[in-house]
Structure 1
């Protein structure tokens, strides 16, 4: 039996392509309802591959295996595309890092939100527009009633990301997978989006898997964090412990590579050592309490 309080549980996830070595190996993650869990690491560490696997969105060429993979209590380890279609939107949704490419440029944003409700039977056509307006207000869109009929190009980057989040939460999913959703936004708008994700978590009780390379964002938002390196989790635990007292040398190298205002401008930047420095170091894993 799966713990009903788990929005996501994956044990020993492996992703590979053709005859190449596995790009993701032995990854285990757990997200409870109402919890925000961060996944951090360099570009190419496997973060986005894990996120896409959680949504059944990897290409057909990918071979995915796991001892266990459940979303909102539903076993998706061997789900067909038809079964995934019932899970996406209703049980789990994803927010991508570039909102303009995630939205249909030819549809008004109200219709895009309403479409999710119609697909999953959460509203009929008469109710869908009213519910879309409620959701747009939920994500704190300014002048929501007017913007309901806007096309994506008429909105700012931050407003488009609010629309993407509105679409993601429209059908009340148990899990929100956010893949670097603030990367393309300026610092002020980024803070607003992070506050929005927190407030939506508080209001809906959904679990959030938050993918990022920004350690500052992870520190602000997440209760627990997993650090990925070359396709595996090398450290996991409470965000405070991992970010303030890292136990793995790769985590320490990540933290040391962040430029600090207190360091003289002419001082050389810290760099992450070559691959072989970390390849054989045992993972530092702290069980979720």
Structure 2
């Protein structure tokens, strides 16, 4: 893991497809080492596109431009696929929201973790299984040694997500990009995965870019947050300030749309107004010091 550099720094990021208007425009984000930064917004706001762009995983049809894009000290704004291959899995890794789709159903868990270690030169074939066990224990997998020989379908959803996280952190990345990693999990398992991400951050010092549509999760996990609306960051700052004192009307609408137990049962739910209702400029953005 490299020292004295940001895990992620991107300035003026735009993503477009063909002649259509940009799906992401003018986005700037910073994730320091040891920091968890959340990106939140409704579906279609551009969150996952940003996550994929930070890993060089957007399709060839996407046009990505940025004034600056630095991943763990590597300048990536004009990177080729070969350049990204030197970064993915080593300096930056990604956790997807559906673990079953991210794992090879025909390979045992231990072999999938060991494969990552060998590909990135972190260990030889002889030591790979032992190191895979250590990493599975790091992500707090129950009965880890036994589960090395399991296939993905033999694990629960929460256990599969632990395996995906184990693969992501195996090579000691500076940046972990987590794209809604708790969406498919029940509330109890979701809390366990969030605590796991926190503990891994504390133990390894990696930075985390956490993508979510869940304000509760963001408030529980993140130090800072950026609010996305129609491909732009409309508000950012400390998670506590943004969630307790929102300054942009979209952020306020997002918070007001959360159902509350104190509201009478038959009261109408608050909804976010039509897209055209948010026309004012972004709230003043807080830059990380």
Which string of whole-angstrom CA distances, capped at 9 and with x for unpartnered residues, describes residues 160-217 of structure 1? 0000000000000000000000000000000000000000000000000000000000
> Which residue in the other structure is 2:269 paired with?
269
For residue 5 of structure 1, report the CA deviation from its aligned partner. Answer: 2.9
Q: Which runs of 4+ in 1 moved over 2 A?
A: 279-284
**Distance in 2 of aligned mates of 1:111 and 1:282:** 47
- Three-state SS of the structure 2 residue aligned to 1:6 is coil
**Count of residue pairs the alignment pairs up:** 288
How far apart, in 2, do the equivalents of 1:130 and 1:88 lie? 23
- CA positional deviation for 1:86: 1.1
The Cα shift of 1:273 comes to 1.1
Matches within 5 A, 1:142-221: 142-221=142-221
TM-score scaled by length of structure 2: 0.98
Indicate the SS of the match to 1:57.
coil
SS in 1 for 2:94: strand
Secondary structure of the 2:140 match is coil
Would you say 1:104 and 2:104 are equivalent positions? yes
Contact 1:233 1:283 in 2 (8 A): no
Alignment partner of 1:225 is 2:199: no
Post-superposition shift, 1:265?
A: 1.2
SS of 2:7's partner is strand
The aligned residue for residue 61 of structure 1 is: 61
Residues 67-98 of structure 1, C-alpha deviation per residue, up to 9 Å, x if partnerless?
00000000011111111111000000000000
Query: Aligned runs of 1:73-112 on 2, under 5 Å?
Result: 73-112=73-112
Hey, what's the Cα distance between the residues in 1 that align with 2:164 and 2:266? 41
- Rounded to whole Å, the distance in 1 between the matches of 2:279 and 2:200 is 38
For 1:246, the equivalent position in structure 2 comes to 246
User: Superposition RMSD on alpha carbons, in Å?
Assistant: 1.1
Point out where structure 1 has 5 or more consecutive residues left out of the alignment: none
SS of the residue 1:25 aligns to: strand
- In 1, distance between residues paired with 2:58 and 2:279? 26
Q: Distance in 2 between matches of 1:249 and 1:123?
A: 51
Q: Aligned with 2:259: secondary structure?
A: coil
**1:275 positional shift:** 1.2
Counterpart of 1:43 in structure 2 is 43
Q: Over residues 88-128 of structure 1, what are the superposed CA-to-partner deviations in whole Å (9 max), with x where a residue is unaligned? A: 00000000000000000000010100111111101000111
Paired position in structure 2 for 1:17: 17
Q: Is the 8 A contact 1:4 1:72 kept in 2?
A: no
Structure-2 separation of matches of 1:188 and 1:151: 23
